[in-house]
Structures are given as C-alpha cells and as structure tokens.
Structure 1
Amino acid sequence: MSAPKSSPESSPPERPAIAGDVKVHRTCMRDPVRDTIVSRIIDGVYPPGTHLKELALAREFNVSQAPIREALRELEMLGLVESERYRGTRVRSIDLAELREAYELRLLLEDAAVRASAHWTDQDIALLQSELSAMRAADPKTAFDQHMQAVLRFHRHVVALSGNRLFLKAWESLAWGVRARIMAKQIGYVPGFVEMRSDIVEAMQQGDRERAARLLRRITERLLERLNEIHPPAS
C-alpha cells in the first residue's frame, strides 16, 4: 500500500528566497576563492604582473563571476592586485612598506586596547588560555593555518576585551588573516611567541596592564625587527 500523499496544508511551505540569502551565499563562495588567490600570490604561483581573468577563475572555481569580482575587489583594497579599465586585474608586488605600517598600527591599537580595559574576568582569562592551548596543539611547521587562526583569535580577543568597538573595528579592518600570512612568508617562523602570550595572560590575570601592554608590544616589535633584518627599509 502506497504512503498517502501529504496535502498542501500538512507540508511546510517553501520559504521564499530573499535578497539576504543571495548575499550570504555569494559571500560563502567569495571567501574560499579569495583565500586561494591569496595563497597563490603569496606562494608565487601568481607572480607580480599576472593577469587574473574573472571568467577563467569563475570556470575554475565553478562559480559565477560575482564572487570572483568581489574577491578581487577585496584583494585590491589590500594592495595585492590592481585593476585598470580595459586592462583588467593584475597581481601587484608585495608592498613591504605598507605591511610595516599595518603592523605599526596594530601595535598602537593593541597597546591602547589593553590600557583601556577596565578589568579581566576569570571567563576572559579562560578564553585566552583556550587559544594558548590551541596554539600549542597546532605545530606551526606542520599545521600553520590552525596555529595562525588561534594566534589571530587571541589578539582579537585582547582587543575586544577593551570594550571599545572602534578599536575592534579598526583592528579587523586590517585583514590580519591575509597580512599575517604575508608576514610569515617574508620572515619565516619566529619561535618564542606562545610563551610571550602566556606571560601576557599571566599579567592580565594579575591586573598588570603595563606589563601586559609591554609584552604585547614586544611581539609586534620583534616581527618588525625580523622583517627589517631580512628586508631593510629603503632609505
């Protein structure tokens, strides 16, 4: 005996598509496209001057040209590509001066965020300690992406705990998921930072803002020193 067919009344109505659905779907497609193109630029698969064709990329990723266009627009804002009318989009050389400036701004933002924090609760400390555990669990030599994600979450939490929304907005606008990968490609792995971040959490647990801010600044200063050793700034 065949199962009775459900009536229109008993079947849940199909939810109509809304504009927001299209935007979310396109964003979900844009992010992996953007990340793949970034990796290819950083790794030299797309050297400076490479012409990135929207249609060819859309076919490769099996998506429409809309998420490709959005990904390229985002990369242009980061200075990784440049677009010219009638000439299309080309890969730019990595701008190390801009990379230095971004890290100098990060130093100021994180320092100000720590000093602006009223206090840190046990829950705040536990959140940071969980990211330390994630860093230790992911060897940067074999699981770089997982390690870096934990690092960036740690620093984002530190800024967010200031309670200053503009600090956080400014920090996020610098797209650290991309810039940190560029820095790592330029200077390689620098050991000792997990221990320094552990000391930062200890200082925060003790309510010592000055020490926490000083240690946080030192991390960024060491990155910049390493970059300047390998790629001395133009005089």
Structure 2
Amino acid sequence: MSQPLPRRCMRDQIRDRLLECILEGTYAPGHRFVELDLAAEFQVSQSPVREALRELEVMGAVESLRYKGTRVRSPNPVEMAEAYVLRAILEQRSAELAVPCPPAVLDSLRADLASLHESAQDRDVTRYSRHALNFHRSIVVQSGNHLFLEVWENVQTRARLPFVAQHLSAELSSCAADHDAILAALEKGEGALAGRLLRAFMESLLAKLPR
C-alpha cells in the first residue's frame, strides 16, 4: 500500500492546480472558492486547502474578504503593467541564455506555436493562453536560471494572460505570428535576436493593456 502524501505535498499540488486554472481562465475573476467543496474535490481535509489558498493570496491570485470568502482577484491595471515590464526583461535574458536549444525543446516550442496559430484562428482564448504560457515558460526554463523561473511564475498571477488575450481576441493571429520570428531565431541559435524580439513583443502587449 502506498503511503499518503505529506500534507505539504498536498498543499503544493492543490495550490498549483488552482493557480493553473486561474491562469487559464477556468476560474474567472470573482469566482468564490469554498473550502469544503475543494476538500471534497481533492479528497483531503480542509487544512491543506486553506494553506493553498493562503499561498495564492500572498501571490496575488486570490483575495479573502470578510463575509465574502476567498475569491479570484480581478485584474489590477497597475500590477498587470508592472508584470509585463518584468516579463520583458526576464524573457529577453532567458532567450539569450537558452541557446543552443536542444532538439526536444525546439520540438516542444514548434508544437506550442502550431497550437497558438490554430487557437488564434478559432478565437479560442483559453487554449491560446495555455500554449502561450507553455511557449514562454519553456524559454525561461531553458535559460537554466532557477530564480528567473521562480520570479516568472509568480509574475503570471499579475500578468493575467487570459484576460489580456480576451481583450486582444481580434489580434490573436497577429500575436501568434509574432512568435514565428522568435522561434526562428532560437532555431538558428541567435539568442540575442530572440531576446530582442521577445522584449519587443512584451512591450507591444504592454502598450495594448486595458487601462
């Protein structure tokens, strides 16, 4: 018989799963989390659920309001703008460090890029957001800088990609096309060029954010 997972592991798994759903837009701003329901869903006691929600609050993904419970935070324009400024810097340097990219990483990027184009054509904001996150995260992971990745992942709660993608739903095909040149540069081992393109893309999103 396998041993039960330690409570810390369960807390981390619950936090990561809830954060994934928030970032993908499965849980929209204002969605209320009920500890009892989550405990039943994950088949755990309320303690790891409560701890996971507290961590998400520290990360800025949820907020706890008196008499209203814990809810997904609404996008904050100032935080979003700051998040995209930081992403621009992090991803530029990550691309510079990412080359040469192993074939497996390039294959993964190609697959995500293909899905970006397909979901943009279908105006599928949820799918687009998922593969956009995968594409950019893969580059940060390939940088080999673990602190970059930690900061980048924390920034995503403020960047609110699904909200931005919805705001730019008419421009998703153009946004997906911007990634073609980024991948081409990485395929050629031109990390500095890929970095400049990534930064330019992030700054273009920054200019289009809702105020």
Of stretches 105-114 and 118-127 in structure 1, the one that deviates more from structure 2 is 118-127
In the alignment, structure 1 residue 213 sits paired with structure 2 residue 187: no
**Residue of structure 2 aligned with 1:167, choices 115, 126, 148:** 148
Q: CA deviation at 1:128?
A: 1.6
Aligned equivalents of 1:167, 1:124: Cα separation in 2? 18
Q: How many residues align?
A: 206
Change (3 A) 1:217 1:81: same
* Correspondence for 1:196 among 178, 182, 192: 178
Please identify, of 151-160 and 63-72, the stretch whose mean Cα deviation from structure 2 is larger. Answer: 63-72
Distance 1:93 1:224 in 2: 18
Task: Indicate the percent of aligned positions where both proteins have the same amino acid.
Answer: 29
For the pair shown, the structure with the greater C-alpha radius of gyration is 1
**CA-CA distance at 1:124 after TM superposition:** 3.3
Q: Secondary structure at the match of 2:160?
A: helix
C-alpha root-mean-square deviation of aligned residues, in Å? Answer: 3.5
- The 8 Å contact of residues 152 and 177 in structure 1, kept in 2 or not, is answered as no
Q: Deviations over 1:122-174 (max 9, x none)?
A: 44322321221222343464533232221111111111222222222221222
Q: Distance in 2 between matches of 1:189 and 1:74?
A: 35
One-letter amino acid of the structure 2 residue matched with residue 158 of structure 1: I
* Structure with a larger share of its residues in helix: 2
What SS does the aligned partner of 2:50 have?
A: helix
Secondary structure at 1:174 match in 2: helix
Relative distance call for 1:83 and 1:121 in structure 2 (3 A) is closer
Q: Extract unaligned runs of 5+ from structure 1.
A: 1-13, 47-51
- The Cα shift of 1:176 comes to 5.4
Instruction: Choose which of 112, 122, 137 in structure 2 pairs with 1:156.
Output: 137
Change in Cα spacing, 1:189 to 1:165, as seen in structure 2 (3 Å) is farther
Structure 1 residue aligned with 2:87: 106
Structure 1 SS opposite 2:63: strand
- For the 8 Å contact 1:159–1:168, the answer to whether it is kept is yes
More contact order relative to length (CA 8 Å, sep ≥ 6): 2
Are residues 93 and 111 of structure 1, via their aligned partners in 2, closer, same or farther at CA, if it must alter by over 3 Å?
Answer: same
**Does the 8 Å contact 2:115/2:128 carry over to 1?**
yes
> Does residue 130 in structure 1 map to residue 106 in structure 2?
no
Structure 1 72/149 Cα, relative in aligned 2: closer, same or farther at 3 Å? same
Contact persistence 1:54–1:65 (CA under 8 A): yes
Question: In structure 2, what is the Cα distance between the partners aligned to 1:111 and 1:101?
Answer: 16
